Structure 1
Amino acid sequence: MGKKKKNNKKSKNENKRKKQNHQDRNREVSALFFILASFIAAFLCVVPQNAGIIGRAFNNIFVNGIFGSATYILPFILLWYFIIHIKKSAELKERTDFIWSVALLIFGSLAFEAASVLFAAANVSGGWIGKTFYPFFKELFGEAFGFAVIVILFLFFTARLLRICISKVVYNFLKNIKEDIKKRKEEKEAAALKAPKIFENKSGLLPEIKKLEPFVPNIVNKQKKENSAAEKQATPSEPQKPQVKLDSKSFDYKFPHSTILKNDETKSFHTNKDELLRRAELLRSTLADFGIPAEVKDIIPGPVVTRYDLILAPGIKIQSVTNIIENISLTMRTASIRVVPIPEKAAVGVEVPNPDSVTVGLRGIVEHSSFINSKSLLTLALGKTTDGEGYVTNLASMPHLLIAGATGSGKSVGIHTIILSVLFKARPDEVKFMIIDPKRVEMPIYKDIPHLYNPSTSAADADIITNPREAASALKKLVTVMEGRYTKFAAATVRNIEEYNAKMSETGGEKEFYIVVVIDELADLMLVAKKEIEDSIQRLAQMARAVGIHLILATQRPSVNVITGIIKANFPARLSFQTTSAIDSRVILDMLGAENLMGKGDMLFLPPGEARPVRLQGAFVSLKEAQKIIDFINDQNFPRIYEPLAVAAEVSSGFNAAEEKSMKDLLPALKLINERRRVSQDLLKANFGSSARATNILSILEMKGFITKPEGTNKWQINYDKIEEYIRTA
């Protein structure tokens, strides 16, 4: 018995499925018929003379006969039939649709007939229907009012055919008007307030969250205020006018102006209030699902990230929120979420990436009042905070900066932004750049700027340093320059470069310029000459601040072998882009967080003396924009001149005993490679005794061109011809 019922149920399902498939096929066939009919009707209406007997008959019967100019509506009606048949979710109402279509054609004819009467210039007609029935409306309502009644009925039947709910349209229209009025009122009230609203809890105690009625969180939008301030401070038609320096020489140097850069997209950044409130409610409900009662107090939208400030119920730990970060990310449909405490608000901030991010441009920060009003020559425009405010800092107060980030995280763009922001503020005789670029591809655009500096060469020969050995030698000579400046400052009885330059301004002496050392890839330098590089960096980091020498070190591999404890101890300011692991984040920031960044300029900046890093969206500047600024500077032909002390500074050759021993091992290593026809660290270690010795030999072989490793591969290519020639001549 049960088996029979089961078979009956199965047969019913099968019949139901067959019936549904049959209906789907009928809809597809009908859709094909209506699209063909729509095309044919459109062709007959537009070019009846090319459609033969059928075209002329169609034109005589419908265009010149029954419906007149309203016949041109027929192809659109047939096209709508095609849409509702091909769209399976649309319900078929064949009878009612046919009634509305006929009514639409009739009142279309009446509308065209009324238009031909009211507007004599209109070359339209209502056909037989218009001429027959329009006099009735004319006698009943008059010409103008009758025309209005016909048009209203025409629109009514159009809405019915298209299945548009008129009451809903009217409701949304009135609702939008009401929201616009409310928005303008809020904008006027916000403009009247001179000071920002401070959220305080006067009772001193957190209320019972569970008993609170739901409230709408406050959306804090600081972007509009910033944009208006920036527009007042700088206009596109006038270049930026920095403060005139007391030591300006006879050369009339002009600073690059911000109009060279592209407009900042964040100036036109707008927030969707309804979407923000919806996501805030989604966040609150997600926390409630995991037993965490909370309310969203503030919503702070930014160009890339929106921060939702939560008030947790008493007794709820912050760790309870951080433990479910992945669940919140899944619910909010975002790649990564960061949870940060907000002590000043007694709240917890949840930073959620926006669905549509906006690129932060350098121009918006350069035109910001904080950048323009800064008197420091080493002012850095890093980016914008999560609430959209421009973030500007001073390299002189850091005094050195350590940068790390994985490949593609925006590290190189960040270095370009730092260099260009200094070029907006400083003359070539005020700030010099010593640029070390082992990768050889990121910094060549700066090779001709008059700001370039190299203590190993004269001013005319200064160039980007790409060879690791040359970099080690140049850093040692820079230490000698530092010591020479200390001797000079001691003789002048001053403590730092600011006091020395102020004294030279009074006495008419020669001022000293700042030197910013930029190392784009520290890991490559540490691989070739770790001890020399580390010793020079340590001495400069400990002592060079007072004499105006500042270091900016960048690496994509922030391991303890590259960023040693000695280097970290002397670099209190850290800038971390997205890292590949939590371990790398701990190395650079001494805390977690960088592994959860989104990349593309998203970064954490830890100022010196601060316990918590600031999340920033780095300013983007393209190579074309950077090249325009450099061309603007180079076209002025500012002379490359700097103190002869730097050129005259001589130190030892820069090779220690271990390097000399490696050079003695070169010939045996080349004979070994030529004999075995391969090269690897394991092979050299087996023959020379230690990994360090094998690494030094590999570095010398690569530096002298005996072996190369093409980009994208992990296999050495050996130049056997050069090896054999070296062995013969040795």
Structure 2
Amino acid sequence: MDRLFKRFSRDIIGLLWVATGIFLALSLYSYLPADPSFNSMGRTAPVHNYCGYFGSFLADLIFQFLGLSGWILPIAAIRQSVKGFRGESTKLGVYSLILAGLLLTTLSSLGSLYLPDSLWYGDQVSVGGVLGATVTKYLVGVFNFAGVSVILWTATLAFMVFYTERSLKDLIHWPILTTHFVFERLPLLESASLVFNVVAGSLSKSWSAIWHRKQQRPVVVAPATESPTSRFFPIDNNFEDVELSDLSDAEADEDPQPKLFSLKKVKSQAKRKVSLKKKVQRKIENWELPKLSLLADPPASRFKVDDKEIKEKGRLLVNKMEQFSVRGKVTGAKPGPAVTMFEFKPNVDVKISKITDLADDLSLALSSESVRIIAPIPGRDVVGIETSNAARETVYLKDILASDEFWDEDIKLPLALGCQADGTQKVVDLRKMPHLLVAGSTGSGKSVFVVSILTGLLFRHSPKTLRLVLVDPKQVDLAAFNNIPHLLMPPIRDAKKAINALRWAIKEMEKRYRSMAKFGARGLEDFNSAVEELSSQVIKEHEEFNEQLEGRGILESYYFTPQPYIAVVVEEFGDLMAVDKSNVEQAVVRLAQMARASGIHLILAMQSPRKDVVTGLIKTNIPGRVSFKVASKMDSRIILDESGAERLLSRGDMLFLAPGVSKPQRHHGPWLTDKEINLVTRTWTEQAEPEFDALAMRALEGSGGGFDLPGGQDFEVDDEEFDDRYDEILAYVSTQKAVSASLIQRRFRIGYPRAARLIEVFESEGVVGPPNGSKPRQVLVSELK
């Protein structure tokens, strides 16, 4: 019986409120002062009120106390009945009753203020009643007519907003749209409809334009629509309180009609303008950073959240749980670009393990592609149940790059992760992670994510502040970055050479630590600040000391100039582990343990996070992890230490485990096209060619066999090749008494191989003398002009 009552409770409650509203309306409509009432208890005349003696006494009480404002009561009852039939909560708490009483008081007072002498129903009923007349009398004595008008109108509007739980915009907009709706659908008023369309349409647009003149987002200027924003919809025990009144202004602009959210795609080819509102640095010395306009504006088409679908899924969720004796209530819902998370609060006697085993059953009941259960949500007393949306919304990289957070000066190496499950944009600092593991099967979006990370870094850094080491065995995923000047060495396609590159990174890390120790710095930022303040005399002393070591095969014992961040990006880490697991693991663990302060960071991507690839030592030292959809629960546990990644959607759906966080958070990775990638990289390749680091090149040569330069060029320079800076460098050399390859490298900011080759050319032409041990070569010519 109890279950039967719960099943039909909303219909019963709705009928009771309908009956109450009709009874009140009939009593007030048929009110006659001559009928029996509190003022005429002794009368024996027949009752004309449609609701008898009770209706006569009730109507007289309402009109005498509230005046004509009493008509609000049947209207409020009908409103409650509509809420009941729609499955919304009809409970009247103390807060609601107080608001209703205050609203009736202000309305009655307004009637008495403006129409004090107006009498109705045989001059027996005033407009404001006894309540309105009393309140108005005291207020006018204190504030006068004008002051009371301001107070009452302000209070009335405020109480209406609180009581109806609707914004002021909706309250003013609703009568216009309702009248418009009625006029358009009455055939007898067809001509009036044409006139009203013009008047109401212009009023509606004018009001919307005035209302929407608010402060723009500090980053994204989007006239037609905005990027997803975080929304939370509170829900009561019976899932009857879902209110989607918190519509974003962008969504209201898209569809001015009073419609519910629909999951149908808005068919529009319009683009929404996305640009930087914040001023950012466009140039770093001689380097010009790419402009955000290189990325295409995202389409204005958006998927909208359907509140009916959310409520229906909530009811199905609770019913399915009850079938398995898991009782509780849904307390909220957070819709996002790809999934909607329901917050389910189980009863105290329900075990969490019973809920986690119901993922497949819930997926079937909700007709969802995937259901993931977070039991419990960290720091909360609820369980998160994520269900896929019927239609997914694409997250575009341009929206993330246009955010203030991405250009925050405190975030030196920003990674554009995308959007969280609730639509909030997410940017993290690679320095604080300080390394990242990325896993995902084919088609999950892993490669697009890695490319979007690199593209985002190219918007923030020049080769002066960031250098890259790319390992791309497939020769496809990172091909667009082959010729950018940020490269420390050519893109590596051979696994054995990649091992040598990791060993070089260790040597570079050790050298940076020696440099930081010499200048008393604790990190790369402190070191760069310290060496930038060195005088020219001190720099010259450091140069002379390091040049003495050149003959022994050491370019520099330590650095005395600012050093860039270094990001080592490995696209297929599993291939490296398959070739030489022991050495690769040793090098990665060493870098992961120590490289953070030196400014060297690892991004290791793989398709299958097998146990022999992501070993215990690697997991321990790389806490930052991203997992896209993987093949099995075992793969998910290896990369994230828990299952769930196997239930993700494809095309960018991912889980991000941040350092120091116990539970991974769901995100949706950004999307960008190949054309956009090529436009960004072309901005850099047109400014300069890659100039590879000398020690890095030697490390690759030491691997046993040379390497390929971008574009298929061989590293060895042809004897007859002419250097375009030959004359400039020759003129400088002629002014010196002694010269070395490292001096030319630093002076003209060119790679060491190129500088060494020029020294050999100068020797063959008699400009400089033969090698002299560890000392610089003697210059044999006088100054040339």
Specify the TM-score bucket, using the shorter chain as the normaliser.
0.5 to 0.7
Q: Aligned to 1:293, which of 324, 327, 336? A: 327
The one-character-per-residue Cα deviations of 1:249-286 (angstroms, maximum 9, x if unpaired) are: 3x1x2222222223345884422222222222222222
* Alignment partner, residue 135 of structure 1: none
Measure the CA separation in 1 of the matches of 2:595 and 2:704. Answer: 20
Contact 2:276/2:402 (<8 A) preserved: no
Contact 2:497/2:703 (<8 A) preserved: no
Q: 1:650 to 1:260 in 2, by over 3 A?
A: closer
* Alignment partner, residue 453 of structure 1: 488
Which has the higher mean CA deviation after the structures are superposed, 319-328 or 391-400? Answer: 319-328
The one-character-per-residue Cα deviations of 1:260-313 (angstroms, maximum 9, x if unpaired) are: 223345884422222222222222222233332332222211111111112222
The correspondence of residues 309-324 of structure 1 with structure 2, limited to 5 A, is 309-324=343-358
Q: Aligned to 1:534, which of 585, 589, 600? A: 585
Q: CA deviation at 1:345?
A: 4.3
1:493 aligns with 2:520: yes
The one-character-per-residue Cα deviations of 1:650-681 (angstroms, maximum 9, x if unpaired) are: 996589xxxxxxxxxxxxxxxxxxxxxxxxxx
- 1:383 counterpart SS class: strand
Measure the CA separation in 2 of the matches of 1:334 and 1:606. Answer: 25
Measure the CA separation in 1 of the matches of 2:480 and 2:307. Answer: 43
* Alignment partner, residue 361 of structure 1: 396
The correspondence of residues 162-561 of structure 1 with structure 2, limited to 5 A, is 215-218=240-243, 236=274, 241-243=279-281, 248-249=284-285, 251=286, 253-264=287-298, 268-340=302-374, 341-454=376-489, 463-507=490-534, 510-561=561-612
Measure the CA separation in 1 of the matches of 2:503 and 2:238. Answer: 67
Q: CA deviation at 1:465?
A: 0.4
Measure the CA separation in 2 of the matches of 1:424 and 1:350. Answer: 37
Q: 1:497 to 1:197 in 2, by over 3 A?
A: same
Runs of at least 5 residues in structure 2 that lack an aligned partner in the other structure: 1-182, 191-200, 216-229, 254-271, 536-559, 706-785
The correspondence of residues 561-600 of structure 1 with structure 2, limited to 5 A, is 561-600=612-651
Q: 1:564 to 1:227 in 2, by over 3 A?
A: farther
Q: 1:531 to 1:342 in 2, by over 3 A?
A: closer
Q: 1:578 to 1:238 in 2, by over 3 A?
A: closer
Q: 1:296 to 1:281 in 2, by over 3 A?
A: same
Measure the CA separation in 1 of the matches of 2:621 and 2:495. Answer: 22
TM norm structure 2: 0.52
Q: CA deviation at 1:358?
A: 1.0
Contact 2:238/2:329 (<8 A) preserved: no
1:613 aligns with 2:638: no
- 1:327 counterpart SS class: helix
* Alignment partner, residue 688 of structure 2: 638
Runs of at least 5 residues in structure 1 that lack an aligned partner in the other structure: 1-147, 156-176, 202-208, 229-233, 455-462, 656-730
Contact 2:500/2:700 (<8 A) preserved: no
Contact 1:578/1:603 (<8 A) preserved: yes
- 1:598 counterpart SS class: coil
Which has the higher mean CA deviation after the structures are superposed, 262-271 or 480-489? Answer: 262-271
Q: 1:476 to 1:316 in 2, by over 3 A?
A: same
Q: 1:277 to 1:401 in 2, by over 3 A?
A: same
Q: CA deviation at 1:526?
A: 1.5
Measure the CA separation in 2 of the matches of 1:197 and 1:214. Answer: 17
The correspondence of residues 152-163 of structure 1 with structure 2, limited to 5 A, is none
Measure the CA separation in 2 of the matches of 1:424 and 1:375. Answer: 16
- 1:547 counterpart SS class: coil
Contact 2:438/2:627 (<8 A) preserved: yes
- 1:306 counterpart SS class: strand
- 2:288 counterpart SS class: coil
Residue identity opposite 2:688 in structure 1 = F
Percent of aligned positions that are identical: 34
- 1:376 counterpart SS class: coil
Which has the higher mean CA deviation after the structures are superposed, 522-531 or 313-322? Answer: 313-322
Q: Aligned to 1:629, which of 669, 676, 680? A: 680
Higher helix content, 1 or 2: 1
Q: 1:466 to 1:505 in 2, by over 3 A?
A: same
The one-character-per-residue Cα deviations of 1:671-717 (angstroms, maximum 9, x if unpaired) are: xxxxxxxxxxxxxxxxxxxxxxxxxxxxxxxxxxxxxxxxxxxxxxx
The one-character-per-residue Cα deviations of 1:499-518 (angstroms, maximum 9, x if unpaired) are: 10111233366210111000
Q: CA deviation at 1:443?
A: 1.1
Measure the CA separation in 1 of the matches of 2:584 and 2:246. Answer: 47
Contact 1:436/1:519 (<8 A) preserved: yes
The one-character-per-residue Cα deviations of 1:617-662 (angstroms, maximum 9, x if unpaired) are: 1111122211111112222x1364466554566996589xxxxxxx
The one-character-per-residue Cα deviations of 1:310-331 (angstroms, maximum 9, x if unpaired) are: 2222322332222211111111
The one-character-per-residue Cα deviations of 1:329-357 (angstroms, maximum 9, x if unpaired) are: 11111121011123444222211100010
Contact 2:275/2:402 (<8 A) preserved: no
* Alignment partner, residue 51 of structure 2: none
Residue identity opposite 1:304 in structure 2 = A
Residue identity opposite 1:486 in structure 2 = Y
Measure the CA separation in 2 of the matches of 1:321 and 1:489. Answer: 53
Residue identity opposite 2:573 in structure 1 = L
Q: 1:498 to 1:221 in 2, by over 3 A?
A: farther
Q: 1:645 to 1:380 in 2, by over 3 A?
A: same
Residue identity opposite 2:367 in structure 1 = R
Contact 1:303/1:388 (<8 A) preserved: yes
* Alignment partner, residue 37 of structure 1: none
Residue identity opposite 2:295 in structure 1 = L
Contact 2:233/2:332 (<8 A) preserved: no
Contact 1:287/1:293 (<8 A) preserved: yes
Q: CA deviation at 1:216?
A: 1.4
Residue identity opposite 1:489 in structure 2 = M
Residue identity opposite 1:626 in structure 2 = I
Measure the CA separation in 2 of the matches of 1:507 and 1:226. Answer: 55
Which has the higher mean CA deviation after the structures are superposed, 291-300 or 301-310? Answer: 291-300
